[in-house]
Amino acid sequence: MASVDEAMSRAIALAARGLGTTSPNPVVGCVILDQRGEVVGEGFHAYAGGPHAEIVALAQAGERARGGTAVVTLEPCDHTGRTGPCTVALIRAGVARVVVAVADPNPLAGGGVKTLREAGVEVVTGVREGEAEQGNIAWLTAVRRGWPYVIWKYAATLDGRSAAIDGTSMWITSEAARMDVHKLRGTVDAVVVGIGTVLADDSRLTARNLRDGTLNIRQPLRVVVDSSGRTPEKARVRDGAAPTWVATAAEVGVGPDGRVDLAALLAGLYRRGVRAALLEGGPTLAGGFLAAGRIDKIIGYVAPKLLGAGSPALADAGVHTIAEAIDLDYTEITQVGPDLRFTAVPRKREG
């Protein structure tokens, strides 16, 4: 038998399997327990437009779901989109109790708890809420505020250089770190760079297996922030291997600095279905995002190398004195090959 807490832990792990393939929908996991507490069905939302986690789990459980408990990471949806409402499916299956980790912030799909209770189903909320929230943090954050969750990724030497004085930057970090970045690209909806990065590196910005060069089945949108439209027609980012948006100031709008308006850019990405974006641009673009308060998480790959001169990993971020420094909280530090990878989030300022 499994406890509700154990079942929710399993549901959270199942939900993670959908990272990178469900947008603009959330990642969701579900476990069905029968009346004795035995696991009789489980599922996760695998892709947008596909069956929801509850539907997959109920199909596996069959009649054994009747009188049982559905444990789900996100409040069951209560609307008809490309699929029917999960609330109706749970009620028809005869589930006696539904245990929910996180409430659905989407006004279109929310309201599932109310519908279930009105149908006589017992509903328990908030079980392992913090853990489930972190597993679905990009989607939840984006939907709550209306623009994507932004992760800034950079690679640098131990003294903070992203390129040598002659402009060379391949390769600062190891193959293990680069493979890790490709896995990271596979979990987001868009990869964002500036025109400077395109002109300097001419990267494809795809998610692929570095060992054999094969592309992932689903590719993130490639976004070039290019104020004046200088992206060459023959740039590899235009190669057709993945969708590309060259975002110019003329199309998106002009910000206070005379470049592409970052708030308008992010709003445009949200309208395109982007809920998680990976910022891989150079120091100038990264500084602009940080100065605008538009970075939610930072993932840095630090190589055991020293250059002493060359381009810094970060340019002007609107900080003029030590009192204005952008404070971070580390959430993870680990070694990837010979390199150090750290994950941090900007600390919220009081007042």
In whole angstroms, give the CA distance from residue 15 to residue 167: 42
Tokens representing 153?
A: 């990724």
Closest-CA residue to 103 (of 78, 66, 120): 78
Q: Which helix (H) or strand (E) holds 140?
A: helix 137-145
Neighbours of 26 (CB within 10 A): 27
Could you give the number of structural domains in the chain?
A: 2
Residue listed under structure tokens 């009081």: 350
Q: Of 137, 161, 186, which residue sits at a domain end?
A: 137
Q: Of 86, 102, 137, which residue sits at a domain end?
A: 137
Contacts of 99 (CB under 8 A, 6+ apart): 4, 7, 8, 69, 70, 71, 72, 123, 124, 125, 127
Helix H, strand E, coil C: the string for 230-247 is: CCCCCCHHHCCCCCEEEE
| Residue 335 and residue 244 share a domain | yes
pLDDT of residue 281: 75
| Residue 238 and residue 130 share a domain | no
Q: What is the pTM of this model?
A: 0.91
> What confidence tens digit (pLDDT) does each residue in 127-165 have?
999 999 999 999 999 999 999 999 999 999 999 999 899
pLDDT of residue 41: 97
Distances from the Cα of 30 to the Cα of 48, 191, 247, 266, angstroms? 16, 30, 38, 31
Residue 351 lies in a domain: no
| Residue 186 and residue 122 share a domain | no
Query: Is 54 one of the annotated active-site residues of the chain?
Result: yes
DSSP, res 213: -
Residue 79 lies in a domain: yes
- Expressed as residue numbers, the domain containing 289 is 146-346
pLDDT of residue 351: 47
| Residue 307 and residue 277 share a domain | yes
User: Which CATH number characterizes residue 219's domain?
Assistant: 3.40.430.10
Max CA separation in the chain (angstroms): 70
DSSP-derived pairing of the beta strands 69-74 and 29-33: antiparallel
Residue 28 lies in a domain: yes
In whole angstroms, give the CA distance from residue 74 to residue 129: 9
pLDDT of residue 116: 96
Closest-CA residue to 73 (of 96, 43, 106): 43
> What confidence tens digit (pLDDT) does each residue in 37-73 have?
999 999 999 988 899 999 999 999 999 999 999 999 9
Q: Of 113, 137, 161, which residue sits at a domain end?
A: 137
pLDDT of residue 349: 64
| Residue 211 and residue 159 share a domain | yes
Residue 273 lies in a domain: yes
Closest-CA residue to 281 (of 212, 227, 320, 239): 227
Catalytic, out of 54, 75, 131, 280 = 54
User: Which CATH number characterizes residue 123's domain?
Assistant: 3.40.140.10
End-to-end CA distance of the chain: 48
pLDDT of residue 173: 94
DSSP, res 289: H
Query: Under a CB-based contact definition with an 8 Å cutoff, are residues 259 and 291 in contact?
Result: no
Could you say which residues of the chain have pLDDT below 50? 351
